[in-house]
Amino acid sequence: MGAIAALTTACCWAVAARLYRQLGASFSPVTLNFWKGLISLAILLPLSPALPFSPAWISASPLSTSQLMMLLLSGAIGIGLGDTCFFLALNRIGDRLSLLVAETLAPLLTAIFAIIWLMELLSWQQWLGIACILLAVDMVLRLQRRQQPQQLWSGYSFAALAALCQAIGAVISRDVFLHSSIDVASASSWRLLGGMAIIVPMLLFSRTRLLPRPHHQLRPWLILLAATLIGTTAAIYLQMLAFSHSKAAIVQTLLATSVILSLLLARALGDTLPKGSLLWTLTALLGVGLLLG
């Protein structure tokens, strides 16, 4: 269940990254993060067994106060800061390179943090699977370096920060699932609330406009809605489902296959792929097989 949920999340991210890339000229990164969080909360909150902050939920809460704060912190770091950094990277180096950098670093950082924090040790076969996937991702990254150096530096920096935030948020979420009986929908809602607690002050402080440019066009809103439903609402639910069933490092590594899926999507849309992409795609698939074997 956890592996299937993680792989489906990766597919959602690959599709959504392509859509979000089209919104860079209409929405600022902070505004984009605000709207996707708001839309997802409007969908996920009613799906929670009991709405967060409601008397029924508080009286029968499966979380202690410290666990609740950890879940909010996970959202603040992973969604509030991490997604904003990722959108900044998207605007500078595009969807494929942003995914490549973030998803190369995030599994390694998650594995290290999970060993230190959760004592989640991996078998040699799982480490070999992680190595195959990360090697494939890194090699595809090397095949696609076409931007100018000044674009690469800032874009890669924001993508690396996004990876760090992903790793921290992943380990905190896994910790909460290990020590509570919270359901996936409620956990997803709390994470989103934590993210919004960071995004709203950032939005107010930066005085960024909420409406797209030009605001009267319907197309940016339709793309935003589609990207949010796929890349945030469905993805965060599936991601939390994965963390509730599998080790943090395994989930984060399977999420990194979004890089390979983004290549397949690009090919389906008519983009020219670098030579050698097929070989590294097969290597990544081998890594997935080792992780699930």
Confidence of residue 96 (pLDDT cuts 50, 70, 90): low
Helix axes 2-21, 219-228, angle to 10 degrees: 160
Both structure tokens of 280: 């590294």
Residue 148's pLDDT is 46
CA 122 to CA 11: how far, in whole Å?
A: 25
Q: Which class for 213: exposed (0-12), middle (13-18), buried (19 or more C-beta within 10 A)?
A: exposed
CA 230 to CA 262: how far, in whole Å?
A: 14
The residue that leads in pLDDT, 177 or 98, is 177
The residue that leads in pLDDT, 139 or 110, is 110
Domain residue ranges in the chain: 2-123+148-251
CA 290 to CA 183: how far, in whole Å?
A: 29
Res 124 pLDDT > 70: yes
Residue 182's pLDDT is 86
* Secondary structure class of 252 (helix, strand, coil): helix
Confidence of residue 206 (pLDDT cuts 50, 70, 90): confident
Residue 97 · residue 163 · CB < 8 Å: no
Written as one letter, the residue type at 129 is G
Both structure tokens of 126: 């799982």
Tokens 């990360």 -> residue = 134
Residue 75's pLDDT is 93
pLDDT, tens digit (0-9, with 9 covering 90-100), for 251-267: 988 888 887 787 778 77
CA 235 to CA 46: how far, in whole Å?
A: 17
Res 214 pLDDT > 70: no
Average pLDDT over residues 41-65: 72
Residue 56's pLDDT is 60
pLDDT, tens digit (0-9, with 9 covering 90-100), for 74-85: 999 999 899 889
Res 195 pLDDT > 50: yes
pTM of the predicted protein model = 0.84
Average pLDDT over residues 197-226: 84
Average pLDDT over residues 189-209: 88
Lowest mean pLDDT, pick from 67-71, 79-83, 118-122, 273-277: 273-277
Centroid of chain to Cα 140: 20
Average pLDDT over residues 203-222: 80
Number of neighbours of residue 228 by Cβ within 10 angstroms: 23
The residue that leads in pLDDT, 224 or 143, is 224
Give the contacts of 204 (CB within 8 A, at least 6 positions apart). Answer: none
Residue 219's pLDDT is 86
Average pLDDT over residues 115-126: 87
Backbone angles phi, psi at 128, to 5 degrees: -65, -40
CA 178 to CA 216: how far, in whole Å?
A: 47
Residue 258 · residue 11 · CB < 8 Å: yes
Residue 106's pLDDT is 87
Res 196 pLDDT > 50: yes
Residue 65's pLDDT is 80
Longest dimension (CA), the chain: 58
First-last CA distance in the chain: 14
